[in-house]
Amino acid sequence: MTVNTATIGYPRIGRNREWKKAIEAYWKQETTEAELHNQLHELYVNQLRIQKDKGIDFVSVGDFSYYDHMLDTAVMFNIIPARFKKQNLSALDTYYAMARGNKEAEACEMTKWFNTNYHYIVPEFTDVTPALNENRPLAYWQKAKDELALNGKPLLIGPATFILLGKGFKQEEVSSLFAQLTPLYIQVIKELHEAGAEWIQIDEPIFVTNKAEGYWKEVEAFYQRISEEVPGANLIIQTYFEALDNYQSVVNLPVNAFGLDFVHDERKNSEAIKAHGFPKGKKLFAGVIDGRNVWKSNLIEKAALVSELQKLVGKEEVIVQPSSTLLHVPVTVETEQELPADIRAGLSFAEEKLTELELLKDLLKGDSEAVKAHQQEIEAFSKVANRVHTKTRAELEQIDDQALSRASVAERQRLQKEKFDLPLLPTTTIGSLPQTAEVRSKRLKWKQGQLTNEQYEAFIKEETKRWIEVQEEIGIDVLVHGEFERTDMVEFFGERLGGMLTTKNGWVQSYGSRCVRPPVVYGDVYLVEPMTVKEIVYAQSLTEKVVKGMLTGPITILNWSFPRTDISKYESMNQIALAIRKEVKALEEAGVHMIQVDEPALREGLPIRAEKQAAYLNATVEAFRLATTGVEDTTQIHTHMCYSKFDDMIDTISALDADVISIEASRSHGNIISSFEQYSYDKEIGLGIYDIHSPRIPSFEEMTNNLDRALRVLNPAQFWVNPDCGLKTRNEKQVIDALTQMVNVTKKYREKLAAVAQ
Enumerate the known binding-site residues: 17-20, 112, 117, 430-432, 483, 514-515, 560, 598, 604, 640, 642, 664, 725
Q: Is 425 helix (H, G, I), strand (E, B) or coil?
A: coil
Please give the Cα distance from 363 to 361 (Å, whole number): 5
Pinpoint the alpha helices (H) of 134-200: 136-148, 159-164, 174-195
Instruction: Collect all residues with Cβ–Cβ distance below 8 Å to 188 and sequence separation of at least 6.
Output: 76, 132, 135, 137, 138, 156
Q: Is 413 helix (H, G, I), strand (E, B) or coil?
A: helix
Please give the Cα distance from 621 to 20 (Å, whole number): 36
Contact 750, 694 (CB under 8 A): no
Please give the Cα distance from 420 to 561 (Å, whole number): 35
Please give the Cα distance from 295 to 520 (Å, whole number): 10
Instruction: Collect all residues with Cβ–Cβ distance below 8 Å to 325 and sequence separation of at least 6.
Output: 7, 8, 9, 10, 60, 63, 240, 291
Binding-site residue set for 5-methyltetrahydropteroyltri-L-glutamate = 17-20, 112, 117, 514-515, 560, 604
Contact 594, 638 (CB under 8 A): yes
193 has catalytic annotation: no
Q: Is 433 helix (H, G, I), strand (E, B) or coil?
A: coil
Please give the Cα distance from 648 to 670 (Å, whole number): 16
Binding-site residue set for L-methionine = 430-432, 483, 598
Q: Which residues pair with 427 in a beta bridge?
A: 721
Compute CA 710 distance to the chain's CA centroid, rounded to the nearest angstrom: 26
Please give the Cα distance from 662 to 60 (Å, whole number): 40
CA atoms within 13 A on the CB side of 283: 23
Q: Which residues pair with 319 in a beta bridge?
A: 4, 285
Binding-site residue set for Zn(2+) = 640, 642, 664, 725
Sign of CA dihedral 307, 313, 317, 323: negative
Binding-site residue set for L-homocysteine = 430-432, 483, 598
Q: Which of 328, 374, 481, 693 is catalytic?
A: 693
Q: Which residues pair with 119 in a beta bridge?
A: 112
C-beta neighbour count of 24 within 10 angstroms: 14
Amino acid at 599: E
DSSP for 603-618 reads: GGG--SSHHHHHHHHH
Please give the Cα distance from 3 to 352 (Å, whole number): 19
Residues known to be catalytic: 693
